[in-house]
Structure 1
Amino acid sequence: MEDQSTVIVARPTPFEFDPSATAVVVVDMQNDFGSRGGMFDRAGIDIAEVQAIVPNIREVLGAARASGVLVVYLKMAFQPDLADSGYPSSPTWLKHAPFKVGSEVTSPAGEPSRTLIRDTWSTDIVPDLTPQPDDLVVYKSRFSGFFGTELHEILQQRGVQRLIVVGATTSVCVDSTVRDAMFRDYHCLVVSDATAEPIAADAPRSNHEASLLTFELLFAHVATTADVVAALSATAALPA
């Protein structure tokens, strides 16, 4: 790929991509993690950092759709009977149980919902990032988007080889998904300011920064929203 419009400025090296073989993967930008009244918010976890990346993700998605890049949303959620959570003794269930997963709650608009359960307000994508008709949505029941899901098959059927990853949280579901992608020979780029961790911005150290360093060293390329959008927009402007 010699055309500069197909190169994103990134660390540790430029990231080359073909729009027809690339997908943007949006990790877990759902109400339970990023909206007032969601699971994190009810648990007293500061969701400001997750909310702050919404405009950057929206920019990346707009540029991706305009350039013909596939958009895939991942949503962390369990079946209503919790059968895929490993209830009552798996590590996955035990980590989620303190958040009262499966409990009945009410959305800010007054509609009934259930914590981290499929097809409820709790696991809907946050309003400003609502999937579009041509986007794909994949449910997952573990931190990685590849474990026990159809994600790999979807990407293979469409000839996707490279992934641009945004979403939350950086050190858990983003990290797990990127590692599994790399193990399956996908080339990944993580958008540094379109991923986030629910940790105070003034903390002396953060899992977000540590994860970005690990990505850059071993698992992925790292770039900013501005550089990703610039490259995608330049690609979209090319003659058909």
Structure 2
Amino acid sequence: MSKTALIVIDMINTYDHKDADLLLPSVTSVVPVLTDLLGRARRDEVPVIYVNDNFGEWRSHHGELLEHALAGPHAELVEPLKPDRNSLFVLKARHSIFFETPLTYLLHQQGIDRLVLSGQVTEQCVLYSALDAHIRHLDVVIPRGAVAHIHEDLADAALRMMERNMGAEVCDSGSLWA
């Protein structure tokens, strides 16, 4: 039997980077969808794993990243998505949630073989993570309303690629843990 985890990618964020102005409108629309998805996953005891960029802060840990983001100018986008005490947290340095992280080991230890990828950025980190999940023989689900983009046309193309080339299930978030 398949065991699913909700993966939240890069949502603990200060939005202090060059594409932030292009990303923020999409993030604003994703936050309520992802908040609902997190609530339903937690209610149904679906493991929630945050995989977040460390922003080059190699001495930091997830608590410090969260504090920094909550003290930033876009705290309202982070506050509803905060990890709870049962959430797992993995730091990453590059686009893929798997690249040189312990995530594969963690998933194996937890018996997880189906990933619901959410967060940002659809045409970057979500796409690369879906590919890396695919080559690891993990099932991938992408709730289209729970992923944020910088460029809508590239995000649409990325979703089509994940669906066609990687066998990802692209769906509405409402169909998960309904």
Instruction: Please give the range of the TM-score, normalised by the shorter of the 2 chains.
Output: 0.7 to 0.9
C-alpha contact 1:53 1:196 (8 A) present in aligned 2: yes
1:153 and 2:135 correspond: no
- Tell me the CA shift for residue 44 of structure 1: 4.1
- SS of equivalent residue, structure 1 residue 45: helix
Residue by residue over 1:206-230, the C-alpha shift from the partner in whole angstroms, topping out at 9 and shown as x without a partner, is 11110111111021110001112xx
Change (3 A) 1:60 1:46: closer
- Tell me the CA shift for residue 122 of structure 1: 4.1
2:81 to 118, 129, 141: 129
C-alpha contact 1:144 1:180 (8 A) present in aligned 2: yes
- Aligned match of 1:218: 165
Residue by residue over 1:42-96, the C-alpha shift from the partner in whole angstroms, topping out at 9 and shown as x without a partner, is x6435111121001111111111111110001111144369xxxxxxxxxxxxxx
2:132 to 161, 176, 180: 180
Residue by residue over 1:86-114, the C-alpha shift from the partner in whole angstroms, topping out at 9 and shown as x without a partner, is xxxxxxxxxxxxxxxxxxxxxxxxxxxx9
> Partner letter of residue 221 of structure 1?
E
Which structure has the greater CA radius of gyration?
Answer: 1
- Aligned match of 1:4: none
C-alpha contact 2:122 2:155 (8 A) present in aligned 1: yes
Between the aligned partners of 1:31 and 1:161, the Cα distance in structure 2 is 27
- Aligned match of 1:39: 17
- Aligned match of 1:197: 149
- Aligned match of 1:68: 45
1:12-161 mapped onto 2 (5 Å cutoff): 18=2, 21-33=3-15, 38-40=16-18, 44-80=21-57, 119-120=64-65, 121-122=68-69, 126-161=78-113
Between the aligned partners of 1:56 and 1:72, the Cα distance in structure 2 is 17
Residue by residue over 1:114-144, the C-alpha shift from the partner in whole angstroms, topping out at 9 and shown as x without a partner, is 9xx9934149981110001000111000100
C-alpha contact 1:40 1:46 (8 A) present in aligned 2: no
Between the aligned partners of 1:140 and 1:81, the Cα distance in structure 2 is 10
C-alpha contact 1:77 1:118 (8 A) present in aligned 2: no
Specify which structure has the higher proportion of helix: 2
- SS of equivalent residue, structure 1 residue 143: coil
Between the aligned partners of 2:138 and 2:147, the Cα distance in structure 1 is 19
Residue by residue over 1:170-214, the C-alpha shift from the partner in whole angstroms, topping out at 9 and shown as x without a partner, is 010001111101111100001111112123xxxxx6111101111
Between the aligned partners of 1:173 and 1:119, the Cα distance in structure 2 is 22
Between the aligned partners of 2:156 and 2:4, the Cα distance in structure 1 is 25
Between the aligned partners of 1:81 and 1:150, the Cα distance in structure 2 is 16
Change (3 A) 1:157 1:210: same
Between the aligned partners of 2:37 and 2:94, the Cα distance in structure 1 is 25
CA RMSD of aligned residues (A): 2.6
